[in-house]
Amino acid sequence: MRVIEGKLTGAGLRFCIVVSRFNSFFSEKLLEGAKDALLRHDVSHHGIDIVWVPGAWEIPLIAKEAALSGKYDAIIALGAVIRGDTTHYEHVCAEMSKGIASVSMTQRVPVSFGVLTCESMDQAVARSGSKAGNKGFEAAAAAIEMANILKQMRTEKETDQNA
């Protein structure tokens, strides 16, 4: 039985972090967590590009452009959408989530999901560096692992084809 598991080392890998400016109090905390995870796992400062977008709705388009550039091993989506008094929350969360998943599947580049979708400010506080940890850190760690899994699988595929 063969087991493929991603390593948590980012040496030599490149990442694009797409971060929403809306709810910047939370986005900045998520970004700090993501940068911390990448740097702790041997990603160089030069291996990290950060793109600020107006809101969560805009994340999928920029994630797709980053994927199409061919420069990145993985993309990290960060932001915070907090329920308000209208149905806007449902629309933004659903379409942004679908868009991010679509980029990952169609472009074959991992896009990790570090966008908080919270019912309240308290939930957002807890998930951006408080009681529930930092989802930006977790998303960056997942991006490192996924980049390494794909790298390993693609290398093995090339080796098998050349054999």
Catalytic-labelled residue, pool 41, 45, 46, 88: 88
Mean pLDDT across the stretch 142-155? 96
Q: Write the DSSP assignment of 104-149 as a string of letters.
A: HHHHT--EEEEEEEESSHHHHHHHEEETTEEHHHHHHHHHHHHHHH
Annotated active-site residue 91? The verdict is no
The pLDDT, as a whole number, for residue 3 is: 87
The pLDDT, as a whole number, for residue 163 is: 63
Q: Are the C-beta atoms of residues 62 and 96 closer than 8 Å to each other? A: no
pLDDT at 150 over 90: yes
The pLDDT, as a whole number, for residue 132 is: 75
Q: How far apart are CA 122 and CA 135, in angstroms?
A: 14
The domains located in the chain, with CATH, are 15-120+128-162 (3.40.50.960)
State pLDDT tens for residues 51-86: 999 999 999 999 999 999 999 999 999 999 999 888
Residue type present at position 18: V
pLDDT at 160 over 80: no
pLDDT at 143 over 80: yes
pLDDT at 158 over 70: no
